[in-house]
Every structure is written in structure tokens, then in C-alpha cells.
Amino acid sequence: MEKRIALEKRGRTEDQITELNLDNCRSTNIEGLTDAFTSLESLSLINVGLVSLKNFPKLRSLRKLELSDNRLVFFRISNGLVNITSCENIKSLNLSGNRIKEIDELQSLADLKCLEVLDLFNNEVTNIHNYRETVFGIIPSLKYLDGYDKNDEEAPSDADDDEANHVDEDEESDHDSSDNEVSLAEVYNDQLQDDSSEYNAQEEEGEDEIESESDESEDETRGTKRKIDE
């Protein structure tokens, strides 16, 4: 992830970047993202392989966060959504395609007072009875859950226009430096294999962590049951 961030910066300082796309960069944890990205408004981490949000930076300008198609599962509060609540201006959050199972894992989102759009498609939590009513109850500011409002009315296509139509400060320079972008892509492709190797090692560690936390959770449950039986 750190290598990808360095490439995406394209010579800019952290505080000059308003949009950052780190899709498919392969990492089990947040690495290289810091509080120095003070102007960042849109961050995409789709299909990265994340198992935890620990060490997520305080991004006060962040409006849109994409975390879909990862392996996020929150057995411990320290790894969970509490880590993004310091990004207090988030309006749109996509957590689709993760491993979220329980409503309790979403409780921290109540602290995001500006959150209006939330997507949880393809998570087990969506199968819980009264899932929609419960989530809307937890997050008072929420307008659209999985593309629909409280009354099951579909969100208008321009619901996120304020983010989608944002003109990045570097848009013009990107146009003028198309040749440099080609070079950037070539460099990234050259390093992709190395990143994948590092990710595979991290992935094994991440799976071990998930299994360990799951076992701890089961042990705690059995311990509680024994106390009750006694």
C-alpha cells in the first residue's frame, strides 16, 4: 500500500491531494496513510484485502470512503469501525462485500453525524431480522441504505453529486501530463508482482488473526455459558 500511495502522489505533497484511489493494491492493514492528507475528500480502497481498520488516519476533510470487497470482520473494537469515526465529515460509506455479521459491529457509525449514504450489500448482517429498521435507528443522519431510503424509495441517481462532480485540483495537470501517467502505470505494473508477494504473506497473517479472534470469541461465549449453568 505504501508503494502505491507514493506512486499516486505524483510529486504532490499529502496536503495537496483531494482524491486517492488505492483499489487492488493488496494489503491486509492500513499502511502509509497518515493524518497529513488534510485535504483528502475521496478515498477508495476497493478489493485491497483489508482485515482491519486499525491505524486508520484522522481525515477531517474526507467525504466519501469506499471499502467494498475486502475481508473486514470486527471481532475486536480496536480493529473496527470506531477507527473511522474521527473522519467526522464522511457522507458516503461503502462496506459492501465484507464479512460483517452482527448489528453491534455497526454501532460506531452513530458517531458519524454527517453520514447519509451507507452500502452493506453482500454482508451477512443484511440477513438479520429488521435489519433496515435497525440500521436506520442506529444512524439518525442516514438517508439511504443499500440504495433505498426508509420508505423503500430508491435513491436518485444524483444522490452523491456533491462528491461525484467534485473537480479535483489536479485534474488539469493530469490532462497535461498524460505521458507521465503512462510511465506511472508502467512503474506500477512492474511493482505489482512484488506487492502481491508481500500481500500473500500478510494475508496468511491476517487469516491467522481472524481465526484466533474467532476462537477467543467462542471461548468467551462458552465461559459465559458455564457460569450461567453453575
pLDDT for the residue numbered 81: 93
β-bridge mates for residue 92, sequence order: 64, 117
pLDDT for the residue numbered 73: 83
Only one residue has cell 452493506, namely 120
pLDDT for the residue numbered 127: 97
pLDDT for the residue numbered 167: 47
pLDDT for the residue numbered 210: 56
pLDDT for the residue numbered 79: 75
pLDDT for the residue numbered 166: 54
Answer whether CATH 3.80.10.10 is correct for domain 2-176.
Answer: yes
Q: Measure Cα distances from 54 to 68, 78, 82 in Å.
A: 17, 6, 9
pLDDT for the residue numbered 74: 76
Q: Has this prediction a pTM greater than 0.85?
A: no
Q: CB burial class (10 A; 0-12, 13-18, 19+) of residue 136?
A: middle
Query: Residue 145: how many CA atoms within 13 Å on its side-chain side?
Result: 21
User: Helices 2-9 & 178-229, crossing angle to 10 degrees?
Assistant: 150
Residue spans of the domains in the chain: they are: 2-176
The x, y and z cell numbers of residue 151, run together, are 420508505
> How confident is the prediction along the chain (230 residues), in pLDDT tens digits per residue?
999 999 999 999 999 999 999 999 999 999 999 999 999 999 999 999 999 999 999 999 999 999 999 999 876 666 789 999 999 999 999 999 999 999 999 999 999 999 999 999 999 999 999 999 999 999 999 999 999 999 999 999 754 555 555 545 455 445 544 444 444 545 555 555 555 556 665 565 655 555 555 555 555 544 544 444 54
Radius of gyration for the alpha carbons in the chain, expressed in angstroms and rounded = 19
DSSP 124: G
Q: Are 41 and 69 in contact (CB under 8 A)?
A: no
Q: What is the largest CA-CA distance in the chain?
A: 74
